[in-house]
Structure 1
Amino acid sequence: MSEERIGPYRILRRLGAGGMGAVYLATTDSGRPIAVKTVQQQYAADAEFRRRFTQEVAAARAVNGAYTVAVVDADTEAEVPWLATEFVAGPSLEEAVARHGPLEGAALQVLGAGLVEALAAIHRARTIHRDLKPSNILVTRDGPRVIDFGISKPTVEEGAQTASGAIIGTPGFMSPEHAAGKELTPTSDLFSLGAVLAYAATGRAPFGSGPPAVLIYRASEEPPDLDGVPPELVGLLVRCLHRDPDRRPAQTELAQAFRYGPAVGTDWLGVAEQSVRRRERELDQVLKDPNGTRRRLLILGGALLATATAGGAAWALWPGPAVAGDVPRRTWTAALPRAGMALIGCGPTAVVCADRTGVVGYARSGGRKLWSSTAGAGILPASDGSRVWTVGSDGSVQAQDARTGATLWRSTDTVPGAQSVALPVPGLLLVTGEGGALHAFDAVKGGRQWTSSALGTSYRLQGMASAGVLVMQVSGDLKGAVNGDYFNCRVLDTVTGRQRWSLNVPELYAPPSGSQLYALTSNRVLTALDARDGSTAWSRPTGLPPASATMTAGGYYGSLSLHQGVLACLPADEGANAKEKIAIAAFGAAQGLQLWSGSHTGTITGYATANNVLALGGPTGVTGTALRTGRTAWTWHSAHGAATVQAATGKLFLVTAPTAAGGFTLQALAAADGTSLWHQEFARQQGDPRVLAQGSVLLIGYGTGLTAYHLPTT
């Protein structure tokens, strides 16, 4: 395989990747668009894999139907085996329904008729598709097209498993007998057909969403949710989704049930025609200008022949043309014991998730569950990725190995009325107790280091290891408070726990490094202080307005953050409505000179910096602001609600936003211009998404699912 060609086909660009290989948009010498799927080198070197791949190509070539995507060419003996199919410029059924809503009337009839005919063609070739689902069905002008025969198997082979014993398919759409690893017949595809049609008619999967094990259980033991399916189809879909393969309708009965009404044409698409036309325009543009550099989101769904991974659903991240190939690779997915567990640590060998009920560790490589334990005191544990610290029901403190769960040490004395546990600086574990007392332990070896006196009932704790201090922001009764008289900031020595100095201000910010703190007084004066003794380095008025009546108590509390030598003031006005203006500003950290001031519309929902750009999340999307000038560099619009800036990694921002279907999309936005480089959508689950980016690892926790990706170098 050369850089320019795969076999006789000229490569235009890489479109995406699955668990087994990559997919490219290519053309014949005459200019006909072709989708070429290659196999990863590690599988190409496996003789057994090549044997199975050759059989699958032969099975796919035998399929000849009006509503399937034809195999054009293949070379199973090449150094890197490949398969070429005709290219279809249309969105997947999954995308069409998510973007334009469920299908109705004639559209649903055309879809059903096309899928029934496609399955008939597949089954005539003595093949079972085994992964019929919305993302493997393309919406085109002349009806649906079924894709991805790369994971089909000839019916003469036994079972549904790969050589390694892993089931290939998608929970929620695969039949119960498929999930159980039993020998399959074509009726297995009819179960999938029923699930797909239910999704198309309602916009949701008939067995809901959740971890694979949960979906498999529901499909095997619970009735499908067909609320919203047209009454004339309910009975037929109930039979398609029957647990007993012998109780499902015959193919001839299905063909009779889905007869075309109007002739197939763009009329059947309804509003989804917009997406089809857009795909056709994008393809035409690429064919005319294959080397073009316009930053347009090219989502040519027909070429993404997703390959299923063991134990999970087939997947694809959709890239834009400017970053072909620079998309994350999903490495594993695991089920969490409970929905909403927090990602509290990612170390060299383990990933740790926890809530106030318990903690669980997973292997960083592969995602295998390593251990779990309960949290007796109902306190969220702390972790640095290598160790996990918890508080028992008796107030004892213990450290566990994040890889094995083994106890490393347990304190002999207890913390009365323990309320929280944290690691503000490396090596120092702090546990809050009754009356705001602070108890410090050696995080590595165990043993109490010191205990403070009562400090207050509500405070923020910041650590500054380079200066050897802890910054405690203690508050009294904040009801209706908007000035600094309600705050007392105490700076403690990390070694002794003794107070070094204190100050009454609404905001005292400790950067992660250095020895200088930054304070914002009740009359909005910005002051730089030596962390060791509280002496003033400089002090300047900011011109910021008084705290608004809608601001959370304390106004500018928690508003300061340091980014590449720029001190940003970003008030967290959680009471602001979507149209209210919030004053923001930036100052040079060296002397406090104001660099710029401006406003942000609505509550700031997360922020991060990358490539000298400050990204601010808000009610309608994300705004990219030049860090040193305040100039608006770009905006990214969220169509279905507030966008949250989760993190920055390399030269991009990771942003989450809701989808029309009630789930969320994870977007990677280029720091330079806000272009969406890739995105991944997640079906609706309980709670909010949790995102952790650390080095080359991207972890996403949502509902009861935890997914790990390998981030490319940016």
Structure 2
Amino acid sequence: MGVVHLARSPSGLQLAVKIVHRQHAADPEFRARFRQEVAAARRVSGAFTAPVVDADPTAVLPWMATLYVPGPTLSAQVKRNGPLAPAELRRLTAGLAEALRDIHRAGVVHRDLKPSNVLLSDTGPKVIDFGISRPYDSDLRTETGKLIGSPPYMAPEQFQRPREVGPAADVFALGAVLFHAATGRGPFDSDSPYIVAYQVVHDEADLSGVPADLSPLVARCLAKDPALRPTPDEIMAALALHPPSYEAAAFIPAQRRAAPMSGGARSAGADPGSGTVTHVREPGTRSGSGRAQGGGARRVRWAAAGAALLVMAAGSAGAAGFFDRDGAPGGAAGGGGKGAAEAAFEPWVTPLPSSGGPTPVCTGTGDGLYCAAAGFGTGLLDPVDGEVVWSRRGSPGDDAASVGSLPAGVVHASEPGARLRVYDAGEGGELWDADLSAYLGVPFSAGDTLLMTRQDGAAEGLDGRTGASRWVRTVPGHLRPHYALFDQDSGLAYAFEHAADGATTLVTALEAATGRTAWQHRLEGTLTPVGAPGGALVLTAMNAQAQTVALVRYEPARTAVTRLPLPFRMNEPEVVMGGDRAYLLARGGTLLAMDTGGAGAELWRLETAAGRTSPPVLAGGDRLFLSAADGRLLAVDTERGTLLGQTRPRLRAGKLTYASKLPAPVAIGRTVYGMSPDGSVFAVDGRRPAGW
């Protein structure tokens, strides 16, 4: 695909610079894959990979520079010197297991681990070449009939079910690599890749030649069923159980173990893989306070080694606050209960009872976090510790797909074509409900009004507290208006509707409380409103292939239209506005920042390496948060366009679940709340994402 040059930086560092061949640089699909390789390599740079120094995947000839790793590949070493000695083999096993652990913690599946992609340096093995890696949560981009990978080191599911390939496929490849290192041959050998593929799927490997103490571990790695393969952590633990040679023992890092807290300190737990002090709650309903009924919540907490030091560090840094660029407290105002006023912060995780449906969806105010989930219904979680204050179930099979809150102290949950249920936010009592079969979609929150579109195309505004109809009217020019956004400052809700041929879009600004039309204008193109900075309206513009190609700024006071082309086409981007800045997050993980107030200049772009993402959320004045389909929560610096941190993946039974749209995270004060496909809701400190 390219050529790699040995180079030196101005300071004398030796670098390996990969430059893509010109014929591949002209292929947009290859460029996208190279961008993903750069993003993956940057995310996993660490002790067992070659750190990325610089890259430009947008250059005429895309390139990437990593630190040069002196040493042969495992393939060359075995070819020149024969199989590795037992002590060397154990060091290799431990090093590659830890490398995979770090790669998987970064949310990446390598998919092409093989002897030629393992460098043997004097500090241990290094895994290279993330050219076909992908995030846990990405959509497979492999073309039909095209084999991606190296057959002797591919897992059975890569041949049979490529869309289900996950971290366990890398463990299978590790078993095959260890087999090669121990014997000089592959566990499945043939001159024909088709025969190799058959052997991988159907035949058992002959482990003769693999040292007896490693043979059972290699056999487990080569299990046909991904669920039967060990995790990298389990491989490292298994190595430590056997009496190793001195060299191997020195190479295996010690596993952290829980340790009791001294004195009467409140016990905390380590969120597995995150290094963050947290606690996990088994959900229940809180008793007392007149807020809810039911049994008290049971808590499961454990102490983490070094927790006291982490708590002291959090306390000393806590005075800094979560501030925006002007020094004002960032995020929504803390309110309600023991809420945001407390200086100390403790992350938490609350699993919600689930029937295996989509990821929970939540909304929040300073008074609480309101969540809905299949099997749980709708409920209020205390934003400080995640305790379930109250929960309500709808009719059987009537599981909410959306949840919202209104300033009138109500929370509403609904699913298209089912029922709308509205609850008192504090006590959880049901205030009213409505049959949504007479309406299109679900209600749109606009201040204390719920906006609805009837099946006959008429627009209606309902009082959020009582359900009474405030107004009903046909919006001129609209057959079935769709609501895109609500501007709290002006009280205007923006409805839009595309012409049948996609040539124009009718946009109407309505007063949400009265239904009165403030202004209406027909704009050229297939447009969708995304923000209303300073009285203007910003919309995305799509081409005939449903790709977003531009932003359009419309100023109703002057009826002025400005078209701001994007630097590249984007697929199904979610957009959030921060003043005149637009942040576009495309399917595939590309995040683009644009200035919509001036010449429409690109401010920065970032490859998040998340295949499917939620809408992004702005908080704290200079931070943007988003969720990935594997349950990761990511934080981005909006000034520099850099990734500040991310949580570990949270999968349901180790597998991805599918939802047509992922719920956006919720930011309240300093806290950011994520919803994950394992059915849990969790809270992290939004001002310290590097420690997630």
Q: Which TM-score bucket, shorter chain as reference?
A: 0.3 to 0.5
Q: Which TM-score applies when normalising by structure 2?
A: 0.47
Highest Rg: 1 or 2? 1
Q: Which TM-score applies when normalising by structure 1?
A: 0.46
